[in-house]
A and B are shown apart, each in its own frame.
Chain A
């Protein structure tokens, strides 16, 4: 897949039209506000309370945020993005609320509307600021709560709203449902890659995403090759293949839970002990770290990112790679939700090194890696394009400095955003997927 392919052009076109017909929520202003308030109260807990109590307004978090660094717009300071939540906390939840109440003002809807731009467009939830905060405050958690409150108040940007509504109503994204997956499977079969769809029982349930079906079928094929080569008993379910979870992005709990339930039930049904998440950072974060909490019970299966599976099977000896020939040096872009929010740093690097690639780290890497600029559904929001582009320049600069032959990443979202940036700026560093690179260098 490259930026000049028709599929990519078409995908970008469909992104541009996502907001086409915004839906009316039918909520009164009072109702919106009440829902945001009760969401905030429901979500603020001890951890967030300690965080809110500790912020000293030093503003250092701004220096971690790609949007602030790229634009120097002070409104993009992470602490400012969660300011309404902090003020709400202080007035409504904090231990000293009785003292604060007479001297603070009530949260209002205008404020929330104003902040919608800041938490959806001007924040990818990448959590780089969490790593910088001298007080150890988890700012991205505050962003999540802000998003949940705004979602409850029906203040989600139209694009994300449209995507979420689609997932909620028809269990599809970008128009990709079971039929589309089956069509891709048929096409891949013609090229010799068989997808074991809908097996009645399997050890491993492999997920994919609508974006892969539509944009990166090679990634699905690559995944299939890796699974076959490693000798796994696996399947993809046409009923529960979608790993993306818009609920996590928008903050809609119901959507979040419904998507988890589908996967969880399917894994149980076929007796899978392992569920593999494709190259999607947020899908990994959602299923690996959030789903059990959203469902209120521990998962009955293990969740692995495909890169974790690859590293594990390489170590076990069931997957053997040969030295890569097409490219000699690579740099690895840590997707935020896989890396500093997921804990997967070493596995992708181990896989790259197993192919004898010269791994060159960017100036910021691992837990401090600079965001691609388009995560957390950000790339779908048209209005945010200008600042996204500026943030991309930062990323581009760091990537160029490595002088690597290609940038490898483990997340579709990063990949798409880097490709969009490349198309806009005429940047020519190849953006490649980890699983595709591994699949094309399997030892015979």
Chain B
């Protein structure tokens, strides 16, 4: 792994244009429509409620959270696949939310996405060669050397170029995910949004894809936004981590900061609930078992959104929303009662 030391983390960075990608106070609401004749808007699903993230060239930002926390929506909103309700997404200083179509095309070459489901993300009626050639064609780059480039891409992701004329259903899940990666790489992007790229795969296949992603990062200096719910995978691949809960980032920082010294109660619970494939550690672990389920994003709790399941919750949590700032833990935490907890994952790992 490259020894890049990313810039100090702060959720609300004043400097603009320093990072490759800057997301500021991103809000993404989806209207809930009534079933009546007029289909009036009766509510809002607050999928993302003010998320700020930074991504530097060549680094991996892990975004973790459970279903419904808005991590995938954030990824899509960055790419303008959903038009954000509010907030700003800056790519190399350019504001994507207001960018004319023509210029957005140029950004799309630099910023691509890999999807979770290798079965749904490839057009079943297109041979693999065409799927990978599609970005080249759309951007007018197919005419000179297109077929050769497609072959090169297939080889790059570890597939046999001779199988390019086959259809997606003839490939296994892992192979399909490689095809999806080849498509994302076709236009030589600078950054990839990886939306749960390995969670639909079997573990043995998963590892191959993770290795491939690491190799590609080393070779092309790619930056990744790695969206996932698997905490082990995120720990393995990320330089920095942002933990999301119900549409908000609750804690963010260097990978080891988050995993060794989690300070938000939710991060602590999440890490302690994550199963470890080590029976000895599992036997010794004290789990924090959260009560209840994640509240509906259509009607999130007032104040701190985690308070309904939090054992530290007091009155202030219901009235005042905690800001995502460093409260002396060395990294930003959105909790009024942020407090490091060292022995969450590995009881033997308590280092001073």
Same complex for A and B? Answer: no
Chain A positions near chain B (C-beta within 8 angstroms): none
